[in-house]
Amino acid sequence: MDTIEKTNTYVFNTYSRIPTVFVKGEGATLWDDQGKAYTDFLAGIAVVSLGHCHPQVTRAIADQAATLVHVSNIFYTEPQAELAHQLVEKSFADKVFFANSGAEANEAAIKLARRYFNEKGEPERFRIITMTQSFHGRTMATLSATGQDKIKQGFSPLVGGFVHCPFNDIGALDALVDNTVCAVMMECIQGEGGIIPADQDYIKAVRRLCNERGIFLIFDEVQTGMGRCGSLFAHELFGVTPDIMTLAKALGNGLPIGAMLACTEAAKGFTFGSHATTFGGTPLVTRAALEVLKIISDPDFLQQIRAKGAYLKQGLTALMARHKTIRAVRGEGLLVGMELDGNAGEIVVEAMKKGFILNAIQGKVIRFAPPLVITREEIDAVVKALDDLLE
């Protein structure tokens, strides 16, 4: 029984897997079990942002694995304390809660907002407004928060208390905020929704609305954070700060970690015993994340991301002049979407035959989320391959 047959036999069939077995990765390159090399423009869906097996992160993991891997969160560890310190120093936040994934970080943010108002004596203020086409995870609460019906099918009854609002529509949001709402939760750039950026004016208006109504603004930066969009956090591009923010994906460069960050006022919602995790923020993952944060937060590194992102968008935009099937190219930094008239999945399959790993979302959008260490030569190669495929 080979790897594919064994997986299909013994692992839950919840993924539409491509029949390729990867055995090795380095930088932006992956190798399959037949020795074929692929240039990775997906990075484990924006996870392996420093590339596969980044030597500095690998050394930190190996050193920490040989020192201390896990103790309960009823004790203290140096890597966790230092990562929290660094995240606070580099963000708007004052407190950090560590989890294992983006969904768990978002779950923590939802719980924090609700509990804050409950502790304040306003238990009726529990509803959270999220956006249509948003994606916040697949736990029961986070899929209930998600503004896409397709991922909710078959899971009723859903968790109550979520209201979905059209994205980029401040009038619709204003009409929904009443004295039962505790927070607005949104992505600055909708990733799974099709790489759809919020309008600058809209984000600023959302911030003002939350201030005026005395409710929290939660930014889900699970996919957009940690340099992906050319700034350490995507909301920096919009000139506003949230009250609560979630991170995951790139934070551990492949190791499972999520984080929920909050300002001092919002953080009052969690007190002793109100929330916990067994594996969140272990010494192993926080040590790895410290190395990731050190590299990604360097201003020169962030500038390189912006330059390479602009170069990728320029190359894809140039294709629009030759291929009428391309309807739009959008995104920030190295999170870019190319919307087609036709089936994006078919192009992704053909690109993989040529040695490029891409991803189709919403049926018609090709998502580019390569390792942030991708080179211009590798970008040139994928643009050329797409040019050939779209002929």
What digits encode the pLDDT tens for the residues 59-105? 999 999 999 999 999 999 999 999 999 999 999 999 999 999 999 99
**Is the same domain home to 222 and 310?**
no
Q: Is residue 58 part of a domain?
A: no
How many domains in the chain? 2
**15 and 75 share a domain?**
no
**Which phi and psi angles does 84 have, rounded to 5°?**
-60, -45
Are 347 and 326 spatial neighbours (Cβ–Cβ below 8 Å)?
Answer: no
Last residue of a domain, one of 244, 276, 297: 297
Per-residue pLDDT band at 303 (split at 50, 70, 90): very high
* Angle (CA) 113 116 120, round 5°: 145
Asked if residue 255 is part of any domain, the answer here is yes
Domain that holds residue 313: 3-53+299-390
Q: How confident is the model at residue 126 (pLDDT cuts 50, 70, 90)?
A: very high
pLDDT above 90 (res 342):
no
Q: In terms of domains, do 180 and 225 share one?
A: yes
Residue 135 counted as an annotated binding residue: yes
The answer on 344 and 221 residing in a single domain is no
- Is 221 labelled a binding residue? yes
Cβ(43)–Cβ(191) under 8 Å?
no
283 & 315 share domain = no
Positive/negative CA dihedral, 343, 376, 356, 233: negative
**Pairing relationship of beta strands 216-220 and 196-197 according to DSSP bridges:** unpaired
Residue 322: CATH number of its domain? 3.90.1150.10
Give residue 391's pLDDT.
Answer: 85
Q: Is 64 annotated as a binding residue?
A: no
359 and 236 fall within a common domain: no
| CATH number of the domain to which 116 belongs | 3.40.640.10
In a domain, 368, yes or no: yes
In a domain, 63, yes or no: no
pLDDT in tens, 139-188: 999 999 999 999 999 999 999 999 999 999 999 999 999 999 999 999 99
* Domain's final residue, options 252, 268, 297: 297
Counted residue by residue, the chain has a size of: 391
Residue 306 lies in a domain: yes
Residue 61 lies in a domain: no
380 lies in the same domain as 248: no
pTM of the model: 0.96
Q: Is 80 annotated as a binding residue?
A: no
What tokens does 42 get? 């997906």
Give yes or no: residues 155 and 280 share one domain: yes
**Does 223 belong to an annotated binding site?**
yes
pLDDT at 107 exceeding the cut of 90: yes
pLDDT tens digits, 313-339? 999 999 999 999 999 999 999 999 999
Query: What is the token pair recorded at 2?
Result: 């080979």
Question: Is residue 359 situated within a structural domain?
Answer: yes
Known binding residue 184? Answer is no
Same structural domain, 96 and 223: yes
Distances in Å between the Cα of 126 and the Cα atoms of 78, 164, 206, 224, 383 are: 36, 14, 18, 26, 47
The mean of the pLDDT values for the chain is 97
132 is annotated as contributing to ligand binding: no
Residue 385's contacts (CB-CB under 8 Å, 6 or more residues apart) are: 351, 354, 355, 356
Full strand arrangement of the beta sheet holding 365-368: 326-332, 335-340, 365-368, 359-361
- 129 within domain boundaries: yes
Q: Which of 245, 266, 297 is where one domain is finished?
A: 297
Q: What is residue 366's DSSP assignment?
A: E
* In a shared domain, residues 315 and 379: yes
180 known member of a binding site: no
- Tell me how far apart the alpha carbons of residues 316 and 338 are, in angstroms, rounded to a whole number: 8
Are 75 and 181 found together in one domain? yes
Which pLDDT belongs to residue 158? Answer: 97
Residue 277 in marked binding region: yes
- Determine if residue 331 is labeled as part of a ligand binding site: no
Same domain, 281 and 316: no
Give how far Cα 153 sits from Cα of 101, 122, 143, 149, Å. 22, 32, 10, 7
